[in-house]
A and B are shown apart, each in its own frame.
Chain A
Amino acid sequence: MDAYQPKKDVIVGILALQGAFAEHQVALQKLPFQKKVVIVLVRVADDLARCDALIIPGGESTTIALLARLAGLLEPLRTFVKRKPTWGTCAGAILLAQAVENTKKGGQELLGGMSVTVARNGWGSQVESFEAPLLVDGLRDPDQTFPGVFIRAPVVMSLDPKPEDPPVEIIARLPAGVLPHAQKLVSSDEDDTDPRDPRTIVAIRQGHHMLTTFHPELTKDNRFHEYFVRACVIPSLP
């Protein structure tokens, strides 16, 4: 760490329009960093202006997008995402995607920011929601599986970075044998054992952004929150 830099707090915003934002707050409060992590619940543009980074929680993406528009937050959010680290979980992941399949009639407003196409409710209805253990390199104690909680989760359909975009890094995939059959790939020979099948991708990182289709905030394991602050937020600070 730069010895000349004054010790400054890290301000992480959580978009608090609808959904499981309080759970992210609890997970962030317990992080073991030297820098103090200050949490701001973002409901209006002034809240967002204070933040170094943003978490978009799980919830209903249509509801969150509408509330963002009504609160005059949509354009400030799009500008924010272009410049500062952002992490989307589940509904938040949908909003960060550049394209989405299975949207409501008339389409859905997105923030963009990550070069990925996802399908909403890619597994089907709630009775298909599940928990699965994930092996994730890059987390603290990578040998310990991370409890993935998938609730009406989106599915990654393709990664499509343009040459000028930052590279996309796959952080986590589903364990073997778990595949969203409700979601067929357009151009696929349907080889379920293909390890490169994009539908098994559940966490990616691109530049300072991160996307998870599951809900780390619903567990007591805060290693993903630690990872986001350590790998995405702190390196981006001036």
Chain B
Amino acid sequence: MATPPVSTTPSATPAANGPATSAAVPARSSTRDGGSSNLGTFGVKSGLAQMLKGGVIMDVVNAEQARIAEEAGACAVMALERVPADIRAEGGVSRMSDPAMIKSIVDAVTIPVMAKVRIGHFVEAQILQSIGIDYIDESEVLTPADEEHHINKHNFKVPFVCGARNLGEALRRISEGAAFIRTKGEAGTGNVVEAVRHQRAVMSEIRKASVMNEEELYAYAKDIQAPFHLLKEAARLKRLPVVNFAAGGLATPADAALMMQLGCDGVFVGSGIFHSGDPAKRARAIVQAVTHYNNPKVLAEISEDLGAPMVGLTIDANLKGGRLASRGW
């Protein structure tokens, strides 16, 4: 499904304004030297996410893995020091990665490079923006730095992706300036069940909202704690007003295709690739699965002989490292 077009006027750049609606998302932008162009508008922030659609974003911990991911067809890489499965196993506080390590990955590949900051840690975000990272993930996988506030993402030229478990959470993040949403899933488990739950919740709530009249939408906005204008926009478009990827627990090509058929625009794969038996082969298979997600014949071919998948964890009260998806407010 098409993500809605960006507005053409730099002064009011909503993510998704139809011909008859007012600006849904405010623009923050700075002007280039000559005064005739605009940097960091919401249009170019959400636009980069649109270019990533139908693609796979892979977690990598060093330049060598980043190169493997690029050769396997990743549309972007997420640079981090420990993949979620290791964060779970090792415990402790997880923070933004060393900028030197992130820069070595930026230098190694030509595709966009993303990196994670802790929820609410706007200084980590300032640091990543200054080294020229392409996208920031304000991520529940790291230990939150603020248990009440998220980063005001409008203040940045660099775009942000944020996790969400339901429609209200997704729209709150968009109202804070996120240009890209992903399901939270349950990272580092190799278990897709939570990502499915979150994607189904978002789609079901949008379908519900799409048949409501305005009075009902006002009440529903209060109910799910979402800004009314963004809820109205999602109801009109019958989808989130920004690009929406799956993340958290995906481990196989079939997992990726499942999330695409549930309405996601693309997928993140974290521990699932480099914790598997044959990372290059599995990565390439997942990339193909996202393109041919509606073609079971192709999916069968690419799912053959992939070697061992990552070890999966059941998600219950004993889950080591606890439930990461409950972080975020």
Contacts and interface: CB of A to CB of B under 8 A. Distances in A.
Contacts of A20: 3, 50-51, 53
A149 B39 CA distance: 10
Contacts of B288: 67, 70
Contacts of A125: 106, 132-134
Nearest to A220: B5
Interface centre among A17, A131, A175, A215 (most CB of B within 10 A): A131
A79 interface: no
Contacts of B108: 105
A104 B129 CA distance: 23
A121 B48 CA distance: 12
Given A22-B3, A129-B47, A147-B8, A175 B73 contact: no
B274 interface: no
Interface residues of A, number: 55
Contacts of A130: 32, 37-41, 44
A129 B39 contact: yes
Interface in B5-47: 5-8, 10, 19, 32-41, 43-44, 47
A194 to B, nearest CB: 15
Interface stretch (B78-86, B109-117, B140-148): B109-117
B54 A176 contact: no
B74 interface: yes
A23 to B, nearest CB: 5
A231 interface: no
A22 B2 contact: yes
A104 B10 CA distance: 33
B51 A178 contact: no
A128 B39 contact: yes
A62 B8 contact: no
Interface residues of B, number: 58
Nearest to B266: A18
B158 to A, nearest CB: 5
A115 B135 CA distance: 33
A184 to B, nearest CB: 17
Contacts of B38: 130-132
A10 interface: no
B233 to A, nearest CB: 15
A104 B74 CA distance: 13
Contact of A131 (B44, B53, B55): B44
Interface in A131-178: 131-133, 147, 149-152, 174-178
A113 interface: no
A18 to B, nearest CB: 4
A218 interface: yes
A126 B134 contact: yes
Contact of B44 (A104, A129, A176): A129
A23 B111 contact: no
A127 B132 contact: yes
Nearest to A153: B44
Majority-rule SS of A interface residues? loop
A55 interface: no
A176 B48 contact: no
A34 B197 CA distance: 46
Contact of A151 (B10, B51, B106): B51
A70 B284 contact: yes
A70 to B, nearest CB: 6
Given A67-B73, A120-B110, A219-B5, A178 B54 contact: no
Interface of B: 1-3, 5-8, 10, 19, 32-41, 43-44, 47-48, 50-55, 67, 70-76, 106, 108-112, 129, 132-135, 157-159, 284, 287-288, 290-292, 295
Interface of A: 16-23, 25-26, 43, 58-60, 62-63, 66-67, 70-71, 90-91, 102-106, 120-121, 124-133, 147, 149-152, 174-178, 215, 217-221
21 contacts: A26-B2, A26-B5, A59-B54, A60-B52, A60-B75, A67-B73, A104-B110, A120-B110, A121-B110, A124-B132, A125-B106, A125-B134, A126-B159, A129-B40, A131-B43, A133-B36, A149-B44, A151-B44, A151-B51, A177-B35, A215-B51
Given A17-B291, A104-B111, A126-B135, 17 more contacts: A25-B2, A43-B292, A60-B52, A66-B73, A91-B51, A102-B110, A103-B110, A125-B133, A127-B157, A129-B47, A131-B41, A147-B8, A149-B47, A151-B47, A151-B48, A152-B134, A219-B8
